Structure 1
Amino acid sequence: MRIDSLHRPSRAASIVAGAVLVAAALAGCGGGQDGDSSGSTKDPVVVDVTFQDGKVTPSGERLDLAVGQELDLKVKADEAGEIHVHSDPEQELEYPAGTKTFELDGFERPGQIVVESHTLDVVILQLEVK
């Protein structure tokens, strides 16, 4: 018997050790945060929206979101106003002059959602929920 074979794990021991590591890794990724069983761990998509001098940016940009993914709109405005999110149900977001963040829960159905300013009569975002 060779001495180096005494220190090498058997093939069966290597397989068992590998299976234990895989199981531990899967257990760590099993669910979402705070007991959420959906498995969704995607970070929210953050969009900076700026209203200044009667104009808004972004202006009509298309944005892809996963079903259930949160969207945070960080609004900075020189005047108070309102954003309309044409989802189901529709949402009206009133913002003051200054800065305000709106955390929109994940959209649950695939499709296109328009985010607009009725005051300026412009589309801010076109969300493509997939």
Structure 2
Amino acid sequence: MQRLRMIGAALATVTLLGAVSACGSDDKASTGKTVVIDITVKDGKITPTGDRVKVGAGQPVDLVVTADRAGSLHMHSDPEQEFAYDEGTKTFPITIDRPGVIEVESHDPPQIIVQLEVR
């Protein structure tokens, strides 16, 4: 049991190098530390554009949207979720408990913004 605590403590001390911004990183998924995915909506374009980000099952994720107009994000999870935002910056905290690939997309313009690879 003590070994499991040591492993858990070691995992808890793992830090991501800076705030993860959806950049298709191949970094190993970490549990515990919040993954921050910066999403920018500007001049009719959205970034990132389909990057894959690895996260641990149950790991907190913040979708931080900075937009020059109102809109919404759609997440293909079970159940599906939609996040409406206004002009400005808004943070949507999420957690995904089941492994798989979850797409976060926009319908206007139609595009996949980020793929969360949950392990």
TM-score (norm 2): 0.74
Partner of 1:67: 57
Name the structure 2 match of 1:93: 83
Map of 2:117 onto structure 1: 128
Question: Are 1:54 and 2:44 counterparts?
Answer: yes
| Residues 88/119 of structure 1: CA separation in 2 closer, same or farther (3 Å cut) | same
Instruction: Give RMSD over aligned pairs.
Output: 2.2
Distance, in Å, in 2 between the alignment partners of 1:62 and 1:117 is: 16
Larger Cα Rg: Structure 1 or Structure 2? 1
Q: Could you tell me how far apart the structure 1 residues matched to 2:108 and 2:79 are? A: 20
- Give the TM-score taking structure 1 as reference length: 0.68
Deviates more, 1:115-124 or 1:41-50: 41-50
Partner of 1:80: 70
Normalized per residue, the structure richer in strand is 2
The 1-side partners of 2:34 and 2:93 are apart by 9
Q: Secondary structure at the match of 2:98?
A: coil
3-state SS of paired residue (2:108): coil
Instruction: Give aligned-pair identity as a percent.
Output: 51
Distance 1:51 1:41 in 2: 28
Unaligned segments of structure 1, at least 5 residues? 1-21, 33-39
Instruction: Indicate the structure with greater helix content.
Output: 1
Q: Tell me whether 1:114 sits opposite 2:103 in the alignment.
A: yes
Is the Cα contact below 8 Å between 2:31 and 2:58 reproduced in 1? no
Query: Which runs of 5 or more structure 2 residues have no equivalent in the other structure?
Result: 13-29
- Determine if contact 2:40/2:48 at 8 Å carries over to the other structure: yes
Deviation per residue, 1:2-28 (Å, 9 max, x gap): xxxxxxxxxxxxxxxxxxxx89x85xx
